Structure 1
Amino acid sequence: MPDAQAARGSDPSGLVAELETARDARDDAREAVDEIGESRLRDLREALGGLERLFDQYEADATGTGDFKSYIDFQDDLVAFVEDLDDDLPERETFESLLDLFKKKRLSESDFAEARDRLSDARDLVGRLDALADAEDEYRKARARAEERADEYAAEVEALERLQRLGDADLDAPVGTLRDPIERYDEGVRAAFREFREAAPARELLGFVETAQSYPLVGFDPVPADLAAFVEDREAGTESLAQLLEYAEYSPSKLDHYVAAPRALKRAVGGNRTYLERLDAEPLTVGWPPAPAEELRYRLDELVSVVDRFADEDVLAALHTVRGRVRDDDYERLRTAGVAEHELTDEERERIESGVEEDLAAARDAERELRDALRDL
């Protein structure tokens, strides 16, 4: 449990403080922008950019003993630029003051430097937009860190609750009375399905899988559409699955002696070889340790309907025995003991022996503290 261990060794208060600081910084930055108006600041930023482009265009040619035409064009363009500014633009007076600054017979680089210096307050105002964007980004990152840590604590809580449950298991319970019928059924259904797979026509076998799709708790993967159509429509569908897979290895010229549509077979069967090779009885087994009763009970009802389509009475009898055991009052006690016996590592057993209650309470408190902060901040 690497994430849970990291969470257990950390203090959520620091993250809460970070989140609160980031929230306050964002609110202050938003207030600073709202004091002027976000749209007005964006207009100011656009105006500063436009003016800087105007300076870049003319500064070299209009200064000193430069091109007189450039000097005149700059004067005209600057006047037009300032007159076109919105009356409500922040620092508009500063822009207007540039008309007097540049109203002289000869311009120098120092004039442009002074113009830029006069606009420093305007640039500071525009900087509020960047400050807000940065503050919002830091706030999002602080929330993401807090959410990630809260999820780690949630994982820690889940893991510790599991250890607590397993630590309460009755390790002296007669687990074999539950495990034995499950293993007997699982072995029987695997053998029965192997026989069915080897002997049945591919059309019948894949038809069974398609029928099983109407039982969602059984869990067979759907038959690929092209494969289902091939075995349904072609004479080769009456062959066993093993035979079709062998045919798919043949060259088209050799295969032409055995089936009517060799290329169709190679596409449908050869193209779905992985699916066919993986087709086994695992979706029909119960497994050990088994699922909780409220989950397994409904799945077993579906398995009875599905397994009855190919298995013999012995397999069905074993399945009914398992279904009966799941309905017994002692099922969860036996299952919990089986899970503890099967799943607990040596490290987890040591943790149970040392006690998990304090760690569990601390993890719950830490997660709650972070969730509350995420809700309120």
Structure 2
Amino acid sequence: MSGEGADEGEDAAATLRAARAKLDDARAAVADHGEERLRTVREAHREATGLLDRYEGRATGTGDFAAFVEFQEAFVQLTEGLDDDLPARSAFEAANDLLDQRRLGEDDFERARAELAPAAELAGLLEAREEARADFEAARRDARRRLRDLGERIDSLERLRRLGEADLDAPVERLRDPVEEYNDAVRGAWAEFRREASAREVFSVVEASRAYPLAALPETPPDLRSYVMEAPAGEESIPTLLEYADYSNSKLSHYVEDPAALRTRVGTHRTYLERLDADPLTVSWPPPDAESLRYRASELVSVVARFAPESVVAAARRLRDLPGRIDYDRLRESALARDELDERERERLEQGAVEEELTAAREERDRIEAALAETETDG
């Protein structure tokens, strides 16, 4: 793993632990004063600052005397209604004493707000705890996301290391030749079938293939299938139908009973018809693992037998039986290595860089998992 990745992993664990410590401190600060008492302080502070904001313009100088009296009475009532042992009660008393004058100026309101600062600080402990909880939850999400990314990275490096251990001189042609033989044969057989058979016959094979998920051809659009299966034009081949779709209605009327229907159904689905090839019936190179090949080739045999000559079906059977006739896993690993390892990756393997990155990645994973475990309870 690169240095950047290591720093990211370390940061994820360190950030999570720091976020948990911050949350614990914030919770402890609230517990020291009592949550309900702090909520009372917060409500009282909001009420006090609300009074200051509402009356500042009317109760200062020689303004509205009634408002002045109303303001002072409201502030006194607020202060006297607080419990004697309420945290920061002295701040409200100090502000109330400051406001107990025959005339108030704007600077008096500012000083009153300053006197209430201890109450604001205590009320802020509740918000600080919520912010700390949000930061902690975000840090846990980041750590889990990093852990997932790291797991994918480890899998990739382990696979790269495994490919690096493959025998690049192994006789992979024993694997490649049967695959290429089958692929060439099935492409040729399908091309001939598509060219010579009626569209109706082709669609019947397509429909039958849907029962074999590992060898299924693309599903035919319903309206196109209905037309081909029911209209006389369905007895023509797919290339002929595509050719017809390019004809004018007057010319097409010499070949089909309903030119508009053909042009609508076939023309609309030209892309589907043109792309209906043998690719879904071929086997990739390098091929899949042995079990996957057995299952898929078994289904290919069933589908290919519906349109191809016996020689092609036999080629599909040989693929199905291939894992039992050769050292399949070893040759497949060699084929994968040849196909996937570029020069740079081979150099990294030879120089031990991949092993170093894998070790670093696993260490990062362990650090993050430990940090997640440590911060799991009561999050």
TM-score in terms of structure 1 length: 0.82
Query: Counterpart of 1:363 in structure 2: which amino acid?
Result: A
Deviations 1:115-153 (A, max 9, x none): 212221221122223322333343344434444443444
Partner of 2:301: 304
Query: Counterpart of 2:364 in structure 1: which amino acid?
Result: A
1:169–1:336 contact (8 Å) kept in structure 2: yes
> Which of 102, 106, 127 is residue 105 of structure 1 equivalent to?
102
Partner of 2:169: 172
Percentage of matched positions with identical amino acids = 47
- Which 10-residue stretch deviates more, 240-249 or 165-174? 240-249
Query: Counterpart of 1:284 in structure 2: which amino acid?
Result: L
1:7–1:153 contact (8 Å) kept in structure 2: no
Partner of 1:32: 29
Query: Counterpart of 1:305 in structure 2: which amino acid?
Result: S
Partner of 1:280: 277
Deviation at 1:60, TM superposition (A): 0.9
Partner of 1:368: 366
Query: Counterpart of 1:62 in structure 2: which amino acid?
Result: A
Distance in 2 between residues matched to 1:187 and 1:228, nearest whole Å:
28
Partner of 1:211: 208
Give 1:183-222 correspondences, 5 Å limit: 183-222=180-219
Distance 1:49 1:293, change over 3 A: same
> Which of 147, 155, 158 is residue 158 of structure 1 equivalent to?
155
Query: Counterpart of 1:285 in structure 2: which amino acid?
Result: T
Q: Which runs of 4+ in 1 moved over 6 A?
A: 79-89, 250-257
Q: Unaligned regions of 5+ residues in structure 1, if any? A: none
Partner of 1:71: 68
Number of residue equivalences: 373
Is 1:260–2:258 an aligned residue pair? yes
Distance 1:70 1:300, change over 3 A: same
Distance 1:132 1:222, change over 3 A: farther
> Which of 349, 369, 373 is residue 352 of structure 1 equivalent to?
349
The Cα RMSD (Å) is 3.6
Deviation at 1:307, TM superposition (A): 1.5
Is 1:139–2:139 an aligned residue pair? no
Partner of 1:323: 320
Deviations 1:224-275 (A, max 9, x none): 4444455445555444434444555667898788563737953x55554444
Distance 1:204 1:48, change over 3 A: farther
Is 1:120–2:117 an aligned residue pair? yes
Distance in 1 between residues matched to 2:249 and 2:134, nearest whole Å:
62
Distance 1:86 1:188, change over 3 A: farther
1:7–1:152 contact (8 Å) kept in structure 2: no
SS at match of 2:213: coil
Query: Counterpart of 2:213 in structure 1: which amino acid?
Result: P
Deviations 1:193-249 (A, max 9, x none): 223333444444344333322222225444444444554455554444344445556
- Which 10-residue stretch deviates more, 209-218 or 175-184? 209-218
Query: Counterpart of 2:126 in structure 1: which amino acid?
Result: L
2:298–2:317 contact (8 Å) kept in structure 1: no
Distance in 1 between residues matched to 2:212 and 2:168, nearest whole Å:
35
Deviations 1:85-121 (A, max 9, x none): 8999764665466555544432222332232122212
Distance 1:81 1:249, change over 3 A: farther
Deviations 1:301-339 (A, max 9, x none): 111111112111111111111112122251111111111
Give 1:23-102 correspondences, 5 Å limit: 23-38=20-35, 41=38, 44-75=41-72, 78=75, 91=88, 94-95=91-92, 101-102=98-99
Distance in 1 between residues matched to 2:82 and 2:222, nearest whole Å:
66
TM-score in terms of structure 2 length: 0.81
1:184–1:318 contact (8 Å) kept in structure 2: yes
Distance in 1 between residues matched to 2:11 and 2:74, nearest whole Å:
55
